[in-house]
Structure 1
Amino acid sequence: MRQPDVEIYVKEADRDAVTQWLTHALGPCTPWQPRGQTFKCSAGALAITWFPKAVGKWHSLYIEGEQIPWETDLACARSAHAALGMQIRCAPGGWQEQDSNENDRWLKIDKDGETEIIWKTD
């Protein structure tokens, strides 16, 4: 089932490289606009938020809208890893605010493949 948004975490990524990947995957992106601790842009009807160092050295990339080309966070993470060649992390399934300890379960995508890990983000 297609998610209404996707979120991935990219370690120590260069935002320009991420923008190039997004432009290739989604179409031209508007310039990034600072909004507090985040940066926002759009690609077509998609709203994109970049949260630098959201968790330590990990940057959050959050995409929302009805035309997201990836059905899941994992599909987006796979695309990002293939394009950027760096480790990407994402939730193993949909995420809900009321979820508790399940939030520590993550998928790590890197040169060695996909691995489920425990990642304490708070």
Structure 2
Amino acid sequence: MTPALIYALAAIGPILVQLALVLGAPWGHLTMGGRWPGTLPPRIRPLAGLQALLLIAMTTIVLNQAGVTDFGWPAWAIWPVLAITLLSTVANFATPSRMERLLWGPMTVLMSLSLIWMLFL
């Protein structure tokens, strides 16, 4: 249960930032490669919303797999979560945005390690 809770707690920050971006927070430098400093253009904000929804779904899958909750997710759903989390880690360290590398890089490493711990150790 502990690694799942670490994952869930680590996901709260990115979820809140993405939701704030949807609402017009001037944090565009913290997402999508920092392509839009300041507020995201209105046509891009739905992508931040989709990212928030994806992170929420992934977190519920992790908590479901650990037996913390019972959302009815199938057991195999954890594997796409692991793949997306690992790919996000790579992307967050490869981004041209220094702030993304400094903030989300370590966060996704923590999320990845908690999943590996949960699934393999």
Structure ranking higher in strand proportion: 1
Q: Which has the larger radius of gyration?
A: 2
Question: Structure 1-normalised TM-score?
Answer: 0.30
Larger helix proportion of the pair: 2
TM-score computed with the length of structure 2 as normaliser: 0.31
Greater relative CO (CA pairs within 8 A, separation 6+): 2
